[in-house]
């Protein structure tokens, strides 16, 4: 069984926030050894580079890796106190600081099908 994880901002993100999100993607890739896709907003006309980073997508993540992702996010959040991180599954949202990562991973593993988890970063 696999899980799709999407990490994005709630509200309007600044250039600094987009920069931090790009660094978070690199940190997750390094610490969790997963393929990370950065989603960007469409650039304005006449702009050469891609737009600002607005999200991180991790697809086909093995359930056994979800605890590592959460621990990595919790560590990043402890260093970036400007943000608060919450996790949404089945319309239930919890702060990442309140999650029991092992229990959460076990609950996901018991689900009958692949699953999507939404992780929101509040500015």
Tell me the pLDDT tens digit for each residue of 2-44.
888 999 988 888 899 999 999 999 999 999 999 999 998 876 6
Task: Give the separation between CA 83 and CA 74, rounded to whole angstroms.
Answer: 11
Q: At what angle do helices 101-109 and 66-79 cross, to 10 degrees?
A: 150
Residue 16: its pLDDT value, please? 93
pLDDT in tens, 49-70: 667 889 999 998 888 888 899 9
Q: Which two tokens stand for residue 72?
A: 């990595």
Task: Give the separation between CA 19 and CA 71, rounded to whole angstroms.
Answer: 21
Task: Give the separation between CA 18 and CA 28, rounded to whole angstroms.
Answer: 15
Q: Which residue has the tokens 């609950």?
A: 107
Q: Which two tokens stand for residue 49?
A: 């580079």
The residues spanned by each domain of the chain are 2-122
pTM comes to: 0.84
């Amino acid at each position: 069984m696999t899980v799709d994880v999407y990490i994005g901002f709630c509200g309007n993100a600044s250039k600094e926030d987009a920069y931090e999100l790009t660094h978070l993607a690199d940190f997750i890739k390094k610490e969790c050894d997963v393929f990370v896709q950065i989603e960007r907003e469409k650039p304005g006309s006449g702009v050469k580079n891609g737009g600002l980073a607005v999200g991180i997508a991790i697809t086909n993540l093995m359930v056994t890796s979800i605890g590592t992702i959460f621990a990595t996010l919790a560590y990043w959040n402890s260093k970036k106190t400007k943000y608060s991180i919450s996790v949404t599954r089945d319309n239930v949202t919890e702060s990442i600081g309140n999650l029991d990562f092992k229990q959460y991973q076990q609950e996901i593993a018991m689900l009958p099908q692949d699953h999507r988890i939404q992780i929101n970063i509040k500015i």
